[in-house]
Amino acid sequence: MALQKRLEELAHLVNGRLIGRGDTVISGVATIEEAAPGAITFLSDQRHLKLLASCRASAIVIGEWGEGVAPEGGKDYIAVKNPQLAFAALIELFRPASMPAPGVHPKSEVHPRAELGEGVSVGAFAVVEEGARIGPRAILFPNVYVGRNASVGEGSVLYPGVAVREDCVVGSRVIIHCNAVVGSDGFGYAREGRAYHKIPQRGIVRIEDDCEIGACATIDRATLGETVIASGTKIDNLVQIAHNVKVGRDSVIAAQTGIAGSARIGSGVQFGGQVGVVGHIEVGDGVMIGAKSGVTNSVPDGAVVSGIPAIAHKEWLRAAAIFGKLPELKKRISELKKRISELEKRVEELEGNGKR
């Protein structure tokens, strides 16, 4: 039987203020476009108020800006400080994640000298090598690999295909999605003539608490020392973090971003998709970098940059507005050069006639 909750219960759960009828029964969550009667949805900000007219949901989570909204069309509201965060709690209530039960699957391989904490789940064909440490209530889905002397902290979840290589450290409550690799060798070679000789990569990766790593992301081990992802940072799918990079706390890095070796990324940064950062530079705290930007020089704290090479975002917008007009401008410049040339010839002719 589907879970059913009265709207007043949900308002209490998300610490919101009820606008409308508390006895409205809610049996599910849905997007504002797909919601049907009996469902609750959310509206993130006032820019999308026009969607209310066609919304069929029985209730809507809105921001505190909506406390003056009068119930209309049979809908009721819950006003909260952060609609997205409140709706996330409702998703967890109505559609809880399905996680495997504690226990070690008989088809997994756990070394006798590995340490498993209380309540750990190890799925089929997962491998935990000698000296590895898995914290309490951590979950290793099928086909996860945890290398020799590596550690995975309490309550962390590693989805199928994740590899945590030897000696690397994953903190507590970390989520790592399918086929991500933690601790692959850094891209380091010494050149001799035309040949490239591998530089041994003997450092580690350290992922601190409460991070999330997307599917197929790769975080390379340091040559020596540590590659570090500080606590609270969220990394999207298909992101490459090179050897010896340091990423600060509570940063967000979107898909297909690449950060080259030994770059230093501050705390609270926000990277759009497909950002490229060259090695050995510093990106300060609170920096925002637009999608597809190429960062070739250090960026000071709090800056907002875009473009290739990345410059101040406002300057980039002005430059981008000109790009589409370049063919027209080129044609106009050619015409002006031709006219100037003709005028110069005319002046020379007039001067020549005057001398005679």
CA distance readout (Å), 179 to 128, 158, 162, 268, 290: 16, 9, 5, 26, 27
Report the distance separating Cα 163 and Cα 178, nearest Å.
9
Identify the active-site residue in 48, 177, 243, 313: 243
Taking alpha carbons only, the member of 289, 156, 147, 283 closest to residue 231 is 156
Residue 217: both structure tokens together: 């992301």
Q: Tokens for 291, please give them.
A: 């999608």
Buried residues in 22-31 as b, exposed as e (16+ CB within 10 A): eebebbbbbe
Known catalytic residue at 105? no
Cis geometry, peptide bond prior to residue 309 (ω within 30 degrees of 0): yes
Torsion, CA 254, CA 260, CA 261, CA 264, rounded to 10:
-60
Residues with catalytic annotation? 243
